[in-house]
């Protein structure tokens, strides 16, 4: 099974759209994310819940399915040296993204993101372990 780190943008997208391919994607690949993603989800809960359409019970079932297939990594398990490197790398764009990058560094996995600015900045600064979500979908044929 291929393993990846995902940022919260991918989770937001999946939760809002509830497209069936997210269920297949999270079943076929192993995704992990730092526990900071939960803080971001909570912070923007009212924003993304307003965008969710349909039956609340269907949303809950879908969300529980996605989260049952996602590994949440506590902050204290992310090594300080990777946090430091990622903070330097992410600071010019968005310091909040550094934990996602640090986790990708630590696990030697690619970071899957929908954040084009972050992706382009990381690539321009020599960080190759990042893939835009749409490109990931095209590469894997997960749609």
Tokens 């879908």 locate to: 62
The reported pTM is 0.92
Question: Phi/psi of residue 22, each to 5°?
Answer: -65, -40
Residue by residue, pLDDT tens for the chain (143 residues) are: 589 999 999 999 999 888 888 988 999 999 999 999 999 999 988 887 888 877 888 889 999 999 999 999 999 999 999 999 999 999 999 999 999 999 999 999 999 999 999 999 999 999 999 999 999 999 887 66
Q: At what angle do helices 116-124 and 80-90 cross, to 10 degrees?
A: 100
Q: What 8-state DSSP symbol labels residue 54?
A: S
Token pair 């990931």 is at which residue?
A: 136
For 75, the 3-state DSSP assignment is helix
Q: What is the pLDDT of residue 49?
A: 80
For residue 110 the two structure tokens come to 């690619």
Instruction: Find the farthest-apart pair of alpha carbons in the chain and give their distance in angstroms, rounded.
Output: 44
Beta bridge pairs of residue 131: 112
Contact status, residue 52 vs residue 16, Cβ threshold 8 Å: yes
Q: Count H helices and E strands in the chain, helices first.
A: 9, 5
Determine the pLDDT at residue 73: 98
Provide the pLDDT for residue 143.
60
The pLDDT score that the predictor gives to residue 20 is: 87
Four-way CATH pick for 3-140: 3.40.640.10, 3.40.50.1010, 3.90.1520.10, 3.40.50.1980: 3.40.50.1010
- Between CA 67 and CA 93 the distance in angstroms is 28
The alpha carbon dihedral of 26, 121, 51, 40 has a sign of positive
């Amino acid at each position: 099974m291929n393993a990846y780190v995902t940022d919260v943008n991918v989770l937001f997208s999946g939760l809002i759209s509830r497209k069936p391919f997210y269920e297949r994607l999270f079943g076929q690949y192993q995704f992990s994310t730092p526990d900071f993603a939960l803080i971001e989800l909570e912070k923007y809960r009212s924003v993304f819940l307003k965008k969710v359409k349909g039956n609340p019970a269907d949303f809950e079932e879908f969300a529980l399915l996605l989260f049952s297939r996602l590994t949440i990594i506590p902050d204290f398990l992310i090594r300080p040296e990777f946090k430091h490197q990622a903070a330097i790398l992410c600071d010019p764009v968005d310091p909040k993204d550094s934990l996602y990058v640090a986790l990708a560094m630590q696990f030697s996995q690619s970071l899957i993101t929908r954040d084009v600015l972050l992706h382009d900045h990381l690539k321009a600064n020599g960080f190759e372990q990042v893939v835009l979500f749409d490109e990931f979908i095209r590469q894997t044929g997960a749609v």
